[in-house]
Structure 1
Amino acid sequence: MEVTKMENSEFLIKLLIAGVLICVSLLGFRLRSSRKLRRKGPPVVPGLPLLGNLLQLREKKPHYTFTQWARKYGPIYSIRTGANPLVVLNSSQVAKEAMVTKYSSISTRKLPKALEILTREKCMIAMSDYGDFHRMVKKMVLNNLLGATAQKQSHQRSLRECMMQNMVSKIYSELQAQAHQIKEGINIRQIIVTELFPLAMKQVLGHDVDSVYVEELGTKISKWEIYEKIVIEPMKGAIEVDWRDFFPYLRWVPRNTVQENMKQVDKKRNAVVRAVIEDYKKLPPSSKNPNCYLDILLKECAHLTDKELEMSIWEPLIEASDTTLVTIEWAMFELSKNPQAQDRLYREIQRVCGNEVVTEDYLPKMPYLSAVFQETLRKHPPVPIIPLRYVHEDVELGGFFVPAGSEIAINIYGCHYDEKEWKNTSEWNPERFEECRNGDILDLYKTMAFGSGKRICAGAVQANLIANTTIARFVQEFNWELAFEEEDSVDTVVLTTHKLHPLKAIPTPRKKP
């Protein structure tokens, strides 16, 4: 009988302890839940049931719409474009918070299916998740190709100087060829592309590839067919939108056009890149260029898989051939449209260079040139929206609670048109950058155009050197005017700030060639 009473007493004590623990746990849960509930999320842009804000973005230029919403809802707000919430950042302060101080919580990518195909499952610096692969490949490309030290190497610099002279010579040739119809203007984009892509090939592959036989395609293709397959077609594919990416639970719907098109683009791109790599491997040792990026990767990164090697070669080829072009073209558009700014830049070049040709050595002495470059990046950022980032743990941004599972869109265009930071945002005004100049031509980060933090653009230094020197050489050699009706030609390609139509401008030589 006494044993039974003892057992009952022990049972009651255990039951009481268990009850207390459960109460404490429930209380803790409620406290945590209430704290979460009290955390204020970003303002929500009203949308439709299920569709959210998708219909409001149907013009396919979301950076414009995001910027308009920022003026109403503030620099950080939440929208719905499908299954997951999307938090949009539209000010430099909040964007830098996401890219620098809170980076550890927002360091991964969540790509649409088409981009997964194009990037071969994030196997490239710009689109990879931050980790060992990203750090290793970025270190290689900075040390041997795009970083400040690599850019100072004599062989790199001589390639750029040769490119500058070739572009100027081509402009003179175009003037002679169009002597009686010059009012139609010269296609500036074509001048730049025909030199920029060969420069990228020389840096990466060791020489300007005129043609290559692509076994998988069963044909020999020319230089500009290579350009089409590895630059133009992937760029077009990257801006195609598959609405099913916004609704993963509707993935079963049979509409695979975007994905199938991207698979074809990917197949051709990979075949061409493999062909140029194999061609280089077959060269005798005496014909190989030990300074080119491919040669360095083959010697120092034998552990790279074939896929990683191919993507490591393709990425600098496409990026060097694209974003720098956008900046130069818009800078020449704005200078041709603003003769006073062009005249001021020319006077600065004369004062600094005299009768000498502009070279990279003179860049630090030309503050107004730097201001022209920075203001062009501000008004026409080459990448208006950074590829979406994924929030993998709860985080606070701009004073608002952002739960894990959200996606982050950093609207660079919106940061540059933030009226609290910039006055008269729609005006192109280089003078706005003179006050904050610190005297260093490589002070690249006055705008958000190159990003910030650990994922800052690897090609920023080269883009700066090429764009500034090209702009200066063009203005030193010629006075520029826009061709007829060109001032109204400001439309852009969807999802980008690329000029829809190539710039047509009229150059007048300042002196005899």
Structure 2
Amino acid sequence: MDTLQLVQTQPYATTLALGAVFLFFLFWFTTKRSKLPTVPAVPGLPVIGNLLQLKEKKPYKTFTQMAEKYGPIYSIRTGAFTLIVLNSAQVAKEAMVTKYSSISSRKLSSALQILTSNKCMVAMSDYNEFHKMIKRHILANVLGANAQKRHRLHREVMMENLSRQFNEHVKTTYDLAVNFREIFASELFGLSMKQALGSNVESIYVEELGSTLSRDDVYKILVLDIMEGAIEVDWRDFFPYLKWIPNKSIEMKIQKLYDRRKAVMKALMNEQRKRLASGKEENCYFDYLLSEAKELTEDQLSMLIWETIIETADTTLVTTEWAIYELAKDKNRQERLYEELRNVCGHEKITEGQLAKLPYLGAVFHETLRKHSPAPIVPIRYAHEDTELGGYHIPAGSEIAINIYGCNMDKEQWENPQQWAPERFLDEKYDNADLYKTMAFGAGKRVCAGSLQAMLIACTAIGTLVQEFEWKLRQGEEEENVDTVGLTTHKLHPLQVKLKPRKQVRR
């Protein structure tokens, strides 16, 4: 009888033993995790938290100032949410590379949710099968290394046009400053249209708007208006439990921007369909997607074509304008770059094939990206699960903001970060072949797909313009009068510069 009872009770004893072991490890894991400190919190007000400290539309600068007091990683309260802000490259790379699987989803504002058509963009989509598919397409036809070789002729034409327009300005209005942005933005927009749709446009009739739009109108609707709308703040984003309260003014504004963009893109794509129907094919993204991505809806097709236009036409403009500004302000560094160009290129115009032989030009590009990060904050993500960053416990549900500007102004990594000093990138620790010397292009699986194109356009343009002209700031363009505006860090006012032709290079 005793033996029988022992046999019958043994499974229960085993179960109890296993349960005890499980509880021990659970206790040990919980205790171990609890030893991780919580992220330092920036003091704020009840209910609204730190929102008043972010009232300006340049939160990246506020975040950087907070980092000087609270360290490279801290938390703030934005209404109902906790936002973890990362301000150092080390912690940012940890978030974007090693801990990416825990924080890979985007958290967009109401305005961006509408303007991106519910994340229907390579840059804004969550990391999922749709993202992998559309990124593969954009690399294959527009942004990858082989695609860049196929589009090289478009960039060469752009450089010729830039040279011609600036030379015409010198001949006709030598004593007056030139609006650099006006000329460069126009040529960059033309390049983006050729890559995206196969042709530039001078005007187009848009049925939904009932009017014929000029090229400037199209640029405004597709680029300028969207970049302005993207920074609109709907206070309900911070208090989701108050979503039921209407905010008609911002809803109508954003919806109007979306509808106008959609109508113009429809008209542009219909023109290209007529071209294809006539039997004429072009090396452009539109033709490629119609052939290789038949699973896309019409709205997705429109958004993906538009994405290549706005991203080519905007961020590269920001970097090039700031680079010319810094060079025009600093005669010694401008002459150093000119001497390098003369030694490598002689009297021939610079070509993309020579960029690897021009380390100082590369340093100018990377230092401009560092000081004037075009996209200063990575679109907010959120943690799907409990994780760890920078030695701190990050609870599930936390929102994560990666402050690229703060990373590139980190005094622990950069000496005199407020100073524009290209020489810092001539140090041996920087590999000339490495595009990712700063955090400007991000890191990991979501590294910027357009980094190669940005480098090719900006470096060749900067080299071409310094080869052909001496640049000098117009009076009143001093540093203390410089500010930024927009989702990307545009100069508040277009760059005004005076030109003096150098000895002409052979073209």
TM range (shorter): over 0.9
5 Å matches for 1:55-94? 55-94=52-91
| Matched-pair contact (CA < 8 Å) for 2:57–2:231 | no
> What percent of counterpart residues are identical?
54
Between 426-435 and 32-41, the greater mean CA deviation after superposition: 32-41
- Specify the alignment match of 1:247 in structure 2: 239
Q: State the 1:55 CA deviation.
A: 0.8
The code of the aligned residue for 2:43 comes to: P
Residue 342 of structure 2 is aligned to residue 347 of structure 1 = no
Alignment partner of 1:262: what SS?
Answer: helix
1:207 to 194, 199, 204: 199
2:465 to 437, 461, 474: 474
Q: State the 1:288 CA deviation.
A: 2.9
- Specify the alignment match of 2:6 in structure 1: none
Distance 2:430 2:488 in 1: 30
Distance 1:56 1:459 in 2: 33
| Matched-pair contact (CA < 8 Å) for 2:366–2:425 | yes
Q: State the 1:119 CA deviation.
A: 0.7
TM-score, scaled relative to structure 1? 0.92
2:167 to 151, 165, 172: 172
Alignment partner of 1:298: what SS?
Answer: helix
Alignment partner of 1:294: what SS?
Answer: helix
Structure 2 unaligned spans of 5+: 1-8
- Specify the alignment match of 1:7 in structure 2: none
Distance 1:90 1:337 in 2: 29
- Specify the alignment match of 2:435 in structure 1: 444
Alignment partner of 2:470: what SS?
Answer: strand
Residue 252 of structure 2 is aligned to residue 260 of structure 1 = yes
Distance 2:241 2:373 in 1: 34
String of CA shifts for 1:186-227, please: whole Å, max 9, x gaps.
100011011000111011100112222211112221211111
Paired residues in the alignment total 501
String of CA shifts for 1:16-70, please: whole Å, max 9, x gaps.
9999999988877766654444331111111111111111111221111111111
| Matched-pair contact (CA < 8 Å) for 1:94–1:398 | yes
String of CA shifts for 1:137-192, please: whole Å, max 9, x gaps.
11111111111121122xx111101100111110111122323x42xx11000110
The code of the aligned residue for 1:174 comes to: H
Distance 1:23 1:354 in 2: 79
5 Å matches for 1:284-323? 284-285=276-277, 288-323=280-315
Distance 1:354 1:22 in 2: 79
Distance 1:14 1:161 in 2: 79
| Matched-pair contact (CA < 8 Å) for 2:36–2:391 | no
5 Å matches for 1:106-255? 106-153=103-150, 156-179=151-174, 181-182=175-176, 185-255=177-247
Distance 2:431 2:481 in 1: 34
Say if 1:449 and 1:146 are closer, same or farther in 2 by CA, change over 3 A: same
- Specify the alignment match of 1:327 in structure 2: 319
| Matched-pair contact (CA < 8 Å) for 1:364–1:439 | no
Say if 1:394 and 1:222 are closer, same or farther in 2 by CA, change over 3 A: same
Residue 33 of structure 2 is aligned to residue 41 of structure 1 = no
What's the Cα RMSD here?
2.5
TM-score, scaled relative to structure 2? 0.93
- Specify the alignment match of 1:503 in structure 2: 495
String of CA shifts for 1:389-411, please: whole Å, max 9, x gaps.
11101111111110110011000
- Specify the alignment match of 1:338 in structure 2: 330
- Specify the alignment match of 1:376 in structure 2: 368
Between 431-440 and 347-356, the greater mean CA deviation after superposition: 431-440
Distance 1:421 1:361 in 2: 32
Alignment partner of 2:108: what SS?
Answer: coil
| Matched-pair contact (CA < 8 Å) for 1:369–1:468 | yes
Distance 2:218 2:392 in 1: 47
